[in-house]
Amino acid sequence: MAAISAALMVYAQTRGFCWDEGFHLLAARLIREGKRPYLDFCFPQTPLNAYLNAGWMSVFGESWRSTHVLATILLSIAIFLTADFVFRRFGEVAEKGEPFFAAAATGTEASLCAGEWKLPAAVFSAVLFVSVFDVVAFATAAQAYAIAVLLTLASFRFACAGARNRRMGAIFAAGLCASASAACTMLAAAAVPVILAWCVIENRRWKTAVAFVAGAAIPWTPVVWLFAEGPRQVWFNIIQYQTLYRGVNWGDVAPHDMEVFLGAAESPPGLMLMLLGAAGIVFAARRGDRVMRMEYYLSAAIALAIGMELSIARPTFDRYFLLTVPFLAIPAAEGLFIAGSRLYRSDRPWAIVAATSALAVFGLANQLFGDRDAIKWPHMEEVARKVKEVTPASAPLYADELTYFLTRHAAPPGMEFSYSHKLELPAAEGRTLHILSQAQVDEMVKRKAFKTFESCDEDDMERLKPESLYADHADLEDCKVFWNLR
């Protein structure tokens, strides 16, 4: 875990970057300045992660680096909780002498076998978790992936503890964590009813549902407060935009989504997760210990529910599915034991783990190498330095959200979330929701309302032809900066 955490931190501080970090970081900065999401600017996300980033930056500095540190810490904890769960459950099997599958030895031999496997299996689950490219590339960024993975996994652990110990405090914590994950990103929302239903089934007491729901209500307090002040804005950002308007920027999303689904076959770690995870779940159905069997069922149900939710999102993206990784890595450790024992020897766990881990890491290295030439934060910092050099502090600026954040320049009202420009709304509603249409923004550019124009979007260049409006410009790889109006 020390090695994994260190490697993730190095990557996050040197290569970690995601375009959509821009509007998340800009939202956190606006919150620090006293503005409210939805009511003062468009932010079609649940707000908890933005508030977390705002609070973190208040202590550790307004920088992408500080938020990457936070995300990496949260991700490392999630990886540890996954490996710890595997380690403990293999240890329980060793104590009970339960056979791993029907043909396995029982009693002392099974106990010895499980005892030999519990540490290698835990190591494998951690390595497989971190070998998924999207985990490394996106869960170390300032978006909500790391916190959502951690909170959903924490809810899973609390639910298991509550079922074993019949403690309502653990059930309350399970509801709190699952709901908080959804309050960070609705991509994790499907886990909430699954964990609730499992807790009720396992505990068979009406108090279980009450404790879970009581915990689940707490993370939504900020949303309720904001809704009381601006129900139209909150409804649009959290519900209406996600259900009706996400695909506006993409047109026909079916080919894109199909490409995402088929792309899973290109990732060795992803294939290992799915195949070994499925094998582990099939094996779990044959367990003699009902408690352990139900815990593995819960893990599979969470992965399935989140996966189904993400599959019907229009459009969906491969990085969304990283939220299912820990819940596949847990049964995948047992799936590896089954496969390794059948194909090789059950008493040589480290050889099997070393071979499969090497394959997973090789797959990750191949994807990281392929991503080597993509734009990263240092490049955007160079763009921001040029923008600051040529733009007075109070001058109107047309820029990407990343540049607004890096330069600490105020984004013009309605331009805090660039994807919203694709929406065609009545003028009055646009003002209420703090949204400018693309036509309105383009008209402002043509009227020379912006002293400086910065963009990394080729469509902007072709549509607006800023070289005809500005006397000077600088080409910074994929981005361009224009200044000195003609």
C-alpha–C-alpha distance, residues 53 and 66, integer Å:
9
Antiparallel, parallel or unpaired: β 479-485 and 470-476: antiparallel
Number of neighbours of residue 2 by Cβ within 10 angstroms = 7
Please tell me the predicted confidence (pLDDT) of residue 101.
44
pLDDT in tens, 163-185: 988 889 999 999 999 999 999 99
> What average pLDDT does the segment 251-269 reach?
81
Confidence of residue 107 (pLDDT cuts 50, 70, 90): very low
C-alpha–C-alpha distance, residues 19 and 23, integer Å:
9
Please tell me the predicted confidence (pLDDT) of residue 16.
94
> What average pLDDT does the segment 232-258 reach?
86
- Say whether pLDDT at 114 is over 90: no
Confidence of residue 94 (pLDDT cuts 50, 70, 90): low
Tell me what percent of the residues of the chain surpass a pLDDT of 90. Answer: 75
First-to-last alpha carbon distance for the chain, in angstroms, is: 57
C-alpha–C-alpha distance, residues 7 and 132, integer Å:
14
Confidence of residue 61 (pLDDT cuts 50, 70, 90): very high
- Say whether pLDDT at 73 is over 60: yes
Q: Are 155 and 143 in contact (CB under 8 A)?
A: no
Sign (positive or negative) of CA dihedral 440, 445, 448, 454: positive
User: Considering the chain, what is the average pLDDT of its residues?
Assistant: 91
- 3-state SS, residue 363: helix
pLDDT in tens, 358-397: 999 999 999 999 988 888 999 999 999 999 999 998 899 9
> Cβ neighbours of residue 304 under 8 Å, at least 6 residues apart?
none
pLDDT in tens, 381-392: 999 999 999 999
137 token code pair: 């590339």
C-alpha–C-alpha distance, residues 323 and 332, integer Å:
15
- Please report, to the nearest 10 degrees, the dihedral formed by the alpha carbons of residues 118, 331, 329, 173 taken in order: -90
C-alpha–C-alpha distance, residues 484 and 479, integer Å:
17
Give the CA radius of gyration of the chain. 25
Confidence of residue 288 (pLDDT cuts 50, 70, 90): low
The answer to whether the bond into 326 is cis (omega within 30° of 0) is no
165 token code pair: 């110990």
Confidence of residue 339 (pLDDT cuts 50, 70, 90): confident
Please tell me the predicted confidence (pLDDT) of residue 165.
86
- Tokens 């790889």 correspond to 477
> Cβ neighbours of residue 158 under 8 Å, at least 6 residues apart?
170, 171, 173, 174, 177
- Say whether pLDDT at 290 is over 80: yes
Please tell me the predicted confidence (pLDDT) of residue 99.
52
- Tokens 């600088």 correspond to 474
